[in-house]
Amino acid sequence: MNKMLDPRGIVISSDRLEDCKAYLGSEFQTLVDHALSAGWSLDEVVVALDGLAAEEIAVPARAMTLH
């Protein structure tokens, strides 16, 4: 029997991860700069972004796979 991937799961392709990070990099820096200009400290911004990312991948029905 063929193993099917969970359509709600998170699948990360290791060979595409660096390309994705590069693609998102400038927008990420713009977001950080915007938060800093609003008066948040860099530590607050980084911890908040980390928390948002953790919430995004913490959906109980999702499982992360790195290949």
For the cut 80, the answer to whether the pLDDT of residue 3 exceeds it is no
More confident residue, 28 or 4: 28
Q: Is 0.85 topped by the overall pTM?
A: no
pLDDT at res. 5: 52
Give the model's pLDDT for residue 40: 98
CA distances to 28, 31, 33 from 42, rounded to whole Å, are 13, 11, 9
Rg (CA), the chain: 16
pLDDT tens-digit readout, 6-54: 556 667 788 888 899 999 999 999 999 999 999 999 999 999 999 998 8
Domain boundaries, the chain: 10-66
What is the predicted pLDDT for the residue at 7?
57
